[in-house]
């Protein structure tokens, strides 16, 4: 028997899409997708970001076709994390027994979990705008780091609609002060290196490794890559760096607590000499623009914390 007056139906809010995070069956990588279509893929080996795609499927990072993704060697491409040493070992320094670029990129990290921004309450919202993935590494996780200090690292990768952020928190959990370098070794994908320029460093002096580390004054113009290039620019962290293709903005780099920018491209001969670099003309498809703090040592006192990061915006 029908009731004359039925209670009104309780409105049900539509379920908003949320970021999707998955771990591979072999527990070797973490993948995240956000509702607007962007994607990021991170190996637990080195906590290395190996893919970052925009909503249209365009890949923003260069990954060598010969890169080792099985944990046997550092990954050639993506965003390797350099810590606590940039470059080859420094003689008569606590880092002198470490491999080139330190141990962070060759250590297995722990996936600590995810967090995401709150869903918008506005009509036609596409759901959460970003997702942050956290990874951890400490001295207790290393069998032989050849670096006798206590530390705890938290590395965060945040994927949003138009950008990728990477940040590192370094905690000195021991009783001794120590020095360190840090660098996000970003391999940016470009269509053609011959059409690519870098702006924002026109007024910055740099160390030119192609001239034995010689100090060179500001060039006063955007950077074009016409041969093997390996430079360390020092500029204020608030200075925005842009990568352009055919004069149009392609990437925008902003930094926090990172006063150095490394610009690197191996060009023809060096690329041929690297067994894990491919394809043969891959140097035309990449440009490393690397935010870091490497021109001088950062000293972290016992019990203190350091934090820095970068944001790469795909334009």
Chain segment 252-293, per-residue pLDDT in tens: 999 999 999 999 999 999 999 999 999 999 999 999 999 999
Please write the tens of the pLDDT for every residue from 63-77.
999 999 999 999 999
3-class DSSP assignment, residue 132: strand
Alpha helices in the chain (DSSP H): 267-273
Distances (CA, A) of 87 to 5, 181, 191, 289: 78, 10, 28, 16
Q: CA-CA distance, 11 to 255, in Å (whole number)?
A: 45
Q: In this structure, are residues 90 and 96 in contact, taking their beta carbons and an 8 Å threshold?
A: yes
Judged on CB neighbours under 10 Å (0-12, 13-18, 19+), 214 is exposed
**What is residue 103's predicted lDDT score, i.e. its pLDDT?**
97
Q: Supply the pLDDT for residue 128.
A: 54
Residue pointed to by tokens 């046997």: 72
Mark whether 181 is an active-site residue: no
Residue of 269, 290, 301, 307 marked catalytic = 290
Q: Name the active-site residue from 165, 181, 185, 252.
A: 185
State residue 119's pLDDT score. Answer: 46
Q: Which residues contact 15 (CB under 8 A, 6 or more apart)?
A: none
Whether 165 is catalytic is: no
Q: What is the pLDDT along the chain (315 residues), one digit of tens a residue?
A: 555 566 666 665 556 789 999 999 999 999 999 999 999 999 999 999 999 999 999 999 999 999 999 999 999 999 999 999 999 998 999 999 999 999 999 999 999 999 987 544 444 444 458 999 999 999 999 988 799 999 999 999 999 999 999 999 999 999 999 999 999 999 999 999 999 999 999 999 999 999 999 999 999 999 999 999 999 999 999 999 999 999 999 999 999 999 999 999 999 999 999 999 999 999 999 999 999 999 999 999 999 999 999 999 999
pTM of the model: 0.93
**Contact at 8 Å (CB) between 217 and 204?**
no
């Amino acid at each position: 028997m029908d009731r004359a007056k039925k209670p009104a139906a309780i409105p049900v809010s539509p379920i908003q899409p949320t970021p999707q995070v998955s771990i591979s069956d072999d527990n070797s990588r973490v993948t995240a997708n956000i509702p607007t279509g962007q994607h990021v893929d991170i190996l637990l080996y080195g906590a290395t970001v190996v893919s970052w795609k925009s909503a249209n499927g365009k890949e923003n990072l260069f990954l060598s076709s010969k890169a080792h993704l099985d944990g046997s060697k550092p990954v050639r491409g993506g965003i390797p994390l350099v810590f606590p040493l940039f470059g080859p070992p420094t003689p008569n320094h606590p880092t002198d027994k470490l491999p080139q670029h330190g141990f962070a990129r060759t250590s297995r990290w722990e996936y600590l979990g995810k967090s995401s921004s709150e869903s918008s309450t506005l009509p036609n919202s596409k759901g959460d705008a970003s997702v942050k993935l956290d990874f951890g590494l400490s001295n207790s996780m290393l069998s032989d780091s050849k670096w006798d200090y206590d530390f705890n690292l938290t590395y965060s990768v945040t994927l949003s609609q138009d950008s990728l952020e990477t940040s590192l928190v370094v905690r000195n959990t021991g009783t001794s002060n120590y020095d360190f370098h840090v660098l996000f070794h970003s391999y940016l994908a470009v269509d053609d290196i011959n059409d690519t320029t870098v702006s924002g460093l026109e007024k910055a002096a740099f160390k030119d490794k192609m001239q034995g580390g010689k100090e060179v004054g500001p060039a006063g113009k955007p950077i074009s890559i016409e041969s093997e290039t390996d430079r360390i620019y020092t500029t204020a962290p608030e200075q925005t760096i842009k990568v352009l293709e055919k004069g149009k903005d392609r990437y925008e780099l902003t930094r926090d607590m990172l006063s150095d920018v490394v610009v690197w491209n191996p060009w023809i001969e060096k690329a041929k000499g690297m067994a894990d670099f491919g394809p043969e003309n891959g140097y035309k498809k990449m440009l490393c623009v690397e935010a870091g703090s490497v021109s001088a040592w950062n000293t972290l006192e016992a019990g203190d914390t350091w934090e820095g990061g970068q944001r790469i915006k795909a334009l």
